[in-house]
Every structure is written in structure tokens, then in C-alpha cells.
Structure 1
Amino acid sequence: MQDIAIFLKDEAATIQLGEDLALALKPGDCLALSGDLGAGKSTLARAFLRAMADDEALEVPSPTFTLVQSYDLRIPVSHFDLYRLADVSELDELGLDEALSDGICLVEWPENALSALPKTRLTATFSHLDDGRRVTISGDTVALARIKRSLAIRSFLQHGGYGEAKRRHLSGDASARAYERILIAGQPVRILMDSARHKAGPILQDGKYYQQLAHLAEDVIPFVAIASDIRDKGFCAPEVYERDLDAGILLIENLGSEGILDADGQPVAERYLESVRVLAHLHAQPVTRDIPLSDTITHHIPDFDRTAMKIEASLLIDWYLPWKRGEKASDAERAAYFSVWDRLVDLLATSEKKLLLRDFHSPNIIWRAKNSGFDRVGIIDFQDAMIGPTAYDVASITQDARVTIEPDLCGEMLSLYCTERHALGGFDEAAFRRDWHLMSAQRNCKLAGIWVRLMQRDGKPFYMKHMPRTFSYLHVALEHEALAPLRDWCIKAGIL
């Protein structure tokens, strides 16, 4: 990958680059800052640290005499100044390797210890150019790609008239998406979604990879389309202010920061119930299959079909079962498992099918207490929406994957949903309740596999804490007589 060359016209541009780099670097990255005195190295380091801390008043003393200053931030950062380094061996005493094990290192005057710095480091070389500075960033190609992405986001903001905005990390999630808060003086905070096009994975079936088989969004087009559809139907989804569909960058409305859990992370019954009410009214709306975004782009909402249901359910047998038993499922076990799912999917042939948001639970619902009606419930994650059994979304919130929903609250939500749907007409409660058990089983089989996959493949073990809850929900799902074949298979396989 080619080096990155940037012209910094003044100190403000240097500060902005430091802030942009703070959104690009990750634990294990070492950024060497090379250049003459007064070239801007310390200015950039100070801006980087303050952005990482989200504190513009953060005291950032020069480490010239201490040689290193460490900061316990969102990502730990160690700021080295090697100007007075007497011997390269001193770096071992300063703990460079330890600092890189779980954090980021900024190193000024790296020339004094090049042999001791990581070979995969990044180097930002400052030089004077006219009245400004020229910075050339070179080194590790993976880290350079992240920096280029961050700079592309800055260009996106500049093109939309937000060039002076401050960018601050907001969150990431179990996917590759990342979010930032965009701060503009005198204006409401906006949210930036960074969601580059999904890269193809290994072919699994019919010449397709998992993302295609499960009908998961591969770019931001579905998000923009579904947001428009939800808003047009009178519900609350973020407005999209600026978009680059090819790059996968969106500037969207900030619906708020308060969720449907209390300060202790426990469900607030009123908020869950109101969310279910919104879901009932959304499900009563007619389906919009095709949503135009321009003269040349129309998003077609896919069906939550047999292939999608089975490929998701396969995560249980492909990831969870080998982790649980220490050995893969036999061919006979696989055949029996998917035969069970074929029979269960057959039961859904006549089920009600409407817009299915896919992940309607606490991480993706914003509580807007100052608003009224349906506008109190903000929906923020729906790019994987499909047309499918409405019971799936109800199972998502009544069996929240991230927080335990006690049976009484679950029952209250199910009763409210059914009451609202009956009032709106055309609702088959018996079929819905059967489908709720079926969709609960499908979702929790998927989640059990996802938690293991996140740990083993993606290095994200903290999701495993949800596994006991997932299986408690699965036990409830399997209580319905229609799920007896799946219950029997799970017992025989040693999963239950």
C-alpha cells in the first residue's frame, strides 16, 4: 500500500489529523513521530490523546524527562519521547513491549531506538513545506488501510459541509460496523455510521457465502431504504443527512442515548411494553417490497426463507456443538438436525409475514421520554430487515439476547402484543404463539453458535456471558409440542 502524504496548513489541521488517527489506530499499533523540533509531533500526539480521552482539557505533559507517560483510556496509550534516551536497552525497562500488548504507543524521536521498535510500526514523518507541514505516513499496510479509511471519512464530512466537525468514537458492535459522534459547534450531535462493503466469505452452498444465504446486508443501501420505509409508516428511525453508498459512510440523526434498560442494566417494563406496542402497529402495516433510493438504485427486501432460516440455525451445529462436545457432529446428526428444521419451516408456510426488523431488542432501541406516541421508541438497527414471520421480532424483544427477561414480563409483553393485534384486525393468535416458539428456537440456536464464533473466530470472548441466558430461552421455546422433534434431537446430541 502506498504511503499517505498530507499537507497540514496550520496547527488546527495538525490537531484534526491527530483526532482522525485516534479513530484509526488499534491495540498493538506503534506510531513513530519523526521530524525536527517544532515540526508538530507533540501537537499531534496531544490531539490524539485528548481525542482518545474525549477530553479537550486533558493534561498532556511532555515525556521528555520521564521518557514515557501512560494513559488509561478507551484504548491504553503510552506516549514515549526518546530524545534523551541514553541506550536502546532502556526501552525494555520502559515497558514498550508490554504497552503494545494491549495498547497503542506514540513514539517521538524514534531515530534514537529504531532497532528496538516493532518492524510493523507506522512512521509519520514531518517536514516543513511553505508555511505549513507535510506529513508522510508509512509502514504496516493493515494499519495504513485503517488510516486511509479514517481520512476518507474526514473527506466525506468535508464534502457535506462538516469539515470542521470533531469526531469521537461512539461504539462498535458484533459486526464490522463502527459509529462516531460528530460534534459541530451550535448544532445537535450527529452520528456517523462506518460500514464498508462486506467482503465475500467462503462458499458454503449454491455458490454463495454465509452473508448471501442469510440475506444479511452487504452495504448501507438496505439501512437507508428501511429507515425511509419505517419513517414513512409513521415510526421513529434516524433521518439520513448525508450518504456515500459506495464507500459505506452515512451521517444520520442522533435519536438519543437512553435505552430501555435502567441504570443497573435491568429491563424497564414500561419501555419494553411500549416497544412491543410499536412492533404490533408496525406489523399491522402493509409490506413495501421495493424501496427506490434513486433512479438507478432500488432496494428489494428479501424473504426470511428456508435457506436463511437453516443457514442461521446451522451455527448451533457448526460452532456451538463442536465447542460443547469437543468433536464435530456426525453426518447422521447433521442430516437429522436439518431434517427437523425442514419440517419446522414447513409449518410457517401459512404464517403471517410482514417487515421483520431482525434484531429488535435492547441494544437497538432508544427511549425518547420527551416525545409522545410511537416517537418515544427509536429504532436504530434494521439493515438486515426481511419479510418474514412477525413472531420473530416479538421473540427478539421478549427474549432479549443481552438481558434476562423474566417470565412475568415476557408474558405481559406477549399479551399486550396480541391485544393490540386483535384490535387492529386480521390476527391469528394461535398460529402466532406457535410461531413465537418456533422463531425463538431458531433465533437462540443461531445465537448459541454466534457467541462461540465471536469468541473463536473474531477474538471477542465477552459475548460468551450471554450463553446461559440463550439456553434458558431455548428451553422455553422447546416447550411447545410443535418443537418436540428439535427438543429430542438436542437431548440426543447432548446439547440439552
Structure 2
Amino acid sequence: MAERHTYIDAFLTQAGWGNAARHPLAGDASARRYLRLTQNGQSAILMDSPSGPETQRFVRIGTWLTEAGFSAPRLLAENAGQGLLLLEDLGDDLIAQLVAKDPAQEAPLYAAITDFLTALHRVPAPDFLPDLGAMELADLVRIVPDWYPCRSATAADEVPERIAALYSGLNREAPVMCLRDFHAENILWLPDRAGPARLGLLDFQDAVRAHPAYDLVSVLQDARRAVSAQTETAERQRYARQNMLEQDRFDTIYALLGAQRSLRIVGIFARLCMAMGKAHYVDLIPRSWSYIERNLSHPALEPLARVILAAYPRPDQDILNRIKDKCGTLPMR
């Protein structure tokens, strides 16, 4: 830890921020750490990541986003090899907090999010992003039985192949850039900017080329906050209209991706508790499970619903308590 402080001190001194006051900011599910620096009436954000490659991806994708006219934080200084970045401070107006303070803002703010996604998806996705296609979507849910209680290993083994088969049969869209961890606690409101630049983007180093519905379902079926049914329906339909997509098929693939994402999130939240000691994520599992059940009620997803509901039990209080009882006791794998 002392050696890390030495690296940070040297980095900030070289960047001209060595005398700045440092204020810790709330973290996320990752091992990254953020500090707000204030000096001479100015502010900046220090991102401290233990992963050099992750930091390099953040720089590359952030640069692409800003050059395309979107509001990723501008890079002020970097030592990506050491996982240190000095970034533009985009403020504190997270969409999640604004809606919590004034629920009437949900509809216009989520409409702005849909407009942003349409604008982002009309720019060709960069070739350096990895693809998230049928097999990759399937592979992402293989984590679940490692961490969440499983009542049928045979059914659990069938889940990935069902996801891949359904996706291959439904998908007709070219892949677009998807920021992936796209939700209201990772988006800032910047009303002084124009158009899609009004959304400040915070977490995009894991961006991929994926189906256009992927980020839409990520933000509308948010594990951390409940989006109203009216807003979810309005924005799902609005996105399809804006992009001239056939609504019924889009709704089906939206439901499929929603089920896939929420199932993986259940596994991730259980792992965050049992391997990383972050018990509070267990309290978010029931909401994610409610999304799974809602998405699986779509008639076209009946083959997937059958195997998921056979493989995994609904997260009742006993299951949640059992996960919490193992908090911080298991090795990461």
C-alpha cells in the first residue's frame, strides 16, 4: 500500500496536481478506486486501478467516444501501465440520484438515454472491440452454477446452448457499440451540453460489439433501481421506432437479452458476496430474479424458461441468507 501511495504521489506531482486535496468517491463492484482532486478552484478525478490492461482499454475506448462527440471524461494525464489516470471531472449529477430526488424526471431523462443509444448505434462500432455474439452470450452465464444454488446440473448445462440457439434464430441486426455496464449509476446528466453529449459516461472499459438491445435492456432493467413499467415500455418502443426495427421481434430479443443479463448478474452478485465480501449485493438479487421471470414469460422463450426454472430456485430468504453466510469465505474463480 505504501508503494502504491508513492506511485500516486509521483504521478500527481508530474501532472501538476501534487498539492491537490484528495476526496474519496463512492466505488463500484470493481477493485478500482476514485478520488476527486481539488486545487486552485479546479477539480479532476484520479482513477486508481490495479489492472493496467483495463486502464489501457478505458483510455482507448474513452478516446474513441470523445472523438465521436460523446461525453466520456477527457484524459488529462495517464500512466496506464500503473493503472493511474487523471480525468476530467464531469460532476455528481448521476441519473439515479436525480430520479430519486424527483421521480417526475424519470421519463425525460430516460428518453435522453434512448436518444443517446440511437446516436451511439448510428456510428460504426470500432473494430478493436470484442464481439458479444451467440456463443459469447452463452458463455457468460456459465458462471451462475458456480456461485448460485443449483437444483439441476443437467438443466443448468442446457441453459447456455438454449440462449445461443434462440439468439442465433432471432438476431438480424448488425452489431453496435455497447458500453455493457450501462445503468443509471454510471450515467451523469450534463444539461449544459447538447444532444447525446448531455450524458456523461463513466464505466465503459468492457465495451463490446453486440446487439442494439443489449445496452437498452441494461439501463431499463436495472439491478440497482426499479424503472417504472411505463418508462420501460415507452423507451423500448421508442428505440424500435427510431431505428425502424420490427417491434415484435425486437421485443423478443430484448426479453432474451434481459433474461441472459439478469441471470449472469445473479451469479456475479453472489460471487461479489462470497469471494469479495460485498454482502450488500445479495440484497439486489431478488430484483434481478424478477426480471428473469418477467422476460421468461415471453411465449417465444418457453424453451429457455423451462431449463432456467428447472436449474435454479427462486431466491427466497433462506437462499439469500445462505449466500450471505459464506460472505468473504470462498476463493475467486
Deviations 1:239-297 (A, max 9, x none): 111111111110011111011133746572211111111111111211221xxxxxxxx
- 1:283 aligns with 121
Query: Within 2, Cα distance between the matches of 1:348 and 1:358?
Result: 20
- 2:329 aligns with none
Deviations 1:183-219 (A, max 9, x none): 11132x1011111227xxxxxxxxxxxxxxxxxxx42
CA 430–233 in structure 1, closer or farther in 2 if over 3 Å, else same: farther
Give the Å deviation of 1:415: 2.0
Higher relative contact order (CA 8 A, sep 6+): 2
Alignment partner of 2:185: what SS?
helix
- 1:24 aligns with none
Query: Within 2, Cα distance between the matches of 1:374 and 1:195?
Result: 28
Q: Give matches, 1:6-405, under 5 Å.
A: 146-187=1-42, 189-197=43-51, 218-261=53-96, 262=98, 264=100, 268-289=106-127, 300-322=128-150, 329-330=152-153, 332-347=154-169, 350-405=172-227
Q: Is the 8 A contact 2:95 2:187 kept in 1?
A: yes
Query: Within 1, Cα distance between the matches of 2:157 and 2:193?
Result: 51
Q: Identity rate of aligned residues, in percent?
A: 32
Alignment partner of 1:150: what SS?
helix
Deviations 1:306-354 (A, max 9, x none): 44322321232221234xx5xxx43x23432233233134235533311
Query: Within 1, Cα distance between the matches of 2:232 and 2:73?
Result: 28
Higher share of residues assigned strand: 1
Query: Within 1, Cα distance between the matches of 2:222 and 2:160?
Result: 26
Deviations 1:53-81 (A, max 9, x none): xxxxxxxxxxxxxxxxxxxxxxxxxxxxx
CA 494–374 in structure 1, closer or farther in 2 if over 3 Å, else same: closer
CA 234–430 in structure 1, closer or farther in 2 if over 3 Å, else same: farther
Query: Within 1, Cα distance between the matches of 2:158 and 2:135?
Result: 16
Alignment partner of 2:82: what SS?
coil
Matched letter for residue 309 of structure 1: L
Query: Within 1, Cα distance between the matches of 2:304 and 2:40?
Result: 56
Q: Is the 8 A contact 1:358 1:382 kept in 2?
A: yes
Structure 1: 5+ residue stretches without partners: 1-145, 199-217, 290-299
- 2:323 aligns with none
Q: Is the 8 A contact 1:351 1:432 kept in 2?
A: no
> TM-score if structure 2 supplies the norm length?
0.87
Q: Is the 8 A contact 1:164 1:184 kept in 2?
A: yes
Matched letter for residue 377 of structure 1: L
1:446 paired residue among 257, 264, 280:
264
Give the Å deviation of 1:396: 0.6
Structure 2: 5+ residue stretches without partners: 315-333
Give the Å deviation of 1:305: 3.3
> TM-score if structure 1 supplies the norm length?
0.59
Question: How large is the RMSD of aligned CA atoms in angstroms?
Answer: 2.0
Higher share of residues assigned helix: 2
2:296 paired residue among 454, 468, 478:
478
Tell which structure's C-alpha radius of gyration is larger. Answer: 1
Query: Within 1, Cα distance between the matches of 2:297 and 2:83?
Result: 43
Matched letter for residue 113 of structure 2: S
